[in-house]
Amino acid sequence: MIQASANIINSGTSSRLDIDSFHVTEMSNVLKDPVTSVQLDVSAFRIDPSTIRSFAIENTERIYGQLYLVQDFLNVSSINVLRLLGIAQRNVFIASFQEVEEAIEEAFIRTHYDIVPERTHEDFQSGYKVRMDRVKDRLHEYVDIDLPAVEDGDDW
């Protein structure tokens, strides 16, 4: 097993990334995933997907984070920031404006969150039912009295 260190800065992502080190596992005989496997000489290694995601967040976040900061500071839209930086042409049409905005937002979201399928009424119903089934036999044991609103003075 090879161990390498990675310093991931937590800056308000979808989960707290307190990763001080990560593991790269040798996987010579394991099916190689083109995203998570690395070929070094004759050996292949698998990098933990969460580590890849962490690096993606760190690097992409820097770019989009700066873009958001500039937007905030100048109170302008993303397309104007891109124009300012010389990335977008000055004659970009309004139709493109919306596309750029959406692309930036989409990229920002995808670097911060695991995108999951749409949650349907059935999904919520099954989740709720599982929870209720688990506690239904004990619900009658509760005492549904009205506790008075207590003044405890906060001096404790």
Partner 1 sequence: MTYSFSPDERLSQGDILRGVKLVVNVHDPEINAPRYDDSHIIVLSRNCEIDKPIKASTGTNSVSVARVIRLIPTSPGLGDIRKNRIVNAFFLPGSEYIEECYVDWRTTQPVDKSNLMVLRSQNGNYKCTVEKEVLEDLFESYFIFFTKPE
Q: Which of 114, 133, 137, 152 binds partner 1 (CB under 8 A)?
A: 152
Strand partners, 45: 26, 38
Please report how close the Cβ of residue 49 comes to partner 1 at its closest, in angstroms.
19
Residue 147 in the binding site for partner 1 (CB under 8 A)? yes
CB neighbours of 2 closer than 8 A, spacing ≥ 6? 23, 24, 26, 45
Residue 98 in the binding site for partner 1 (CB under 8 A)? no
Interface with partner 1 (CB under 8 A), residue total 26
- The owner of tokens 């937590």 is 10
Dist CA 104 CA 106 (whole Å): 5
Cα 52 to its chain centre, rounded Å, is 12
Residue 137 in the binding site for partner 1 (CB under 8 A)? no
- The owner of tokens 């496997």 is 37
From 64, 68, 37, 36, select the one nearest 50 (Cα to Cα): 36
Q: Which of 5, 7, 12, 93 binds partner 1 (CB under 8 A)?
A: 12
**What six digits make up the tokens of 143?**
């005492």
- Does residue 40 sit in helix, strand or coil? strand
Q: Which of 8, 13, 32, 77 binds partner 1 (CB under 8 A)?
A: 13
Q: Which of 2, 4, 10, 49 binds partner 1 (CB under 8 A)?
A: 10
Q: Which of 11, 21, 43, 98 binds partner 1 (CB under 8 A)?
A: 11
Q: Which of 42, 75, 118, 142 binds partner 1 (CB under 8 A)?
A: 142
For the packed helices 94-112 and 49-74, what is the interaxial angle rounded to 10 degrees?
Answer: 140
Please report how close the Cβ of residue 130 comes to partner 1 at its closest, in angstroms.
11
**Footprint of partner 1 on residues 112-131 (CB under 8 A)?**
128, 131
Binding footprint of partner 1 on the chain (CB under 8 A): 10-16, 128, 131-132, 135, 139, 141-152, 154, 156
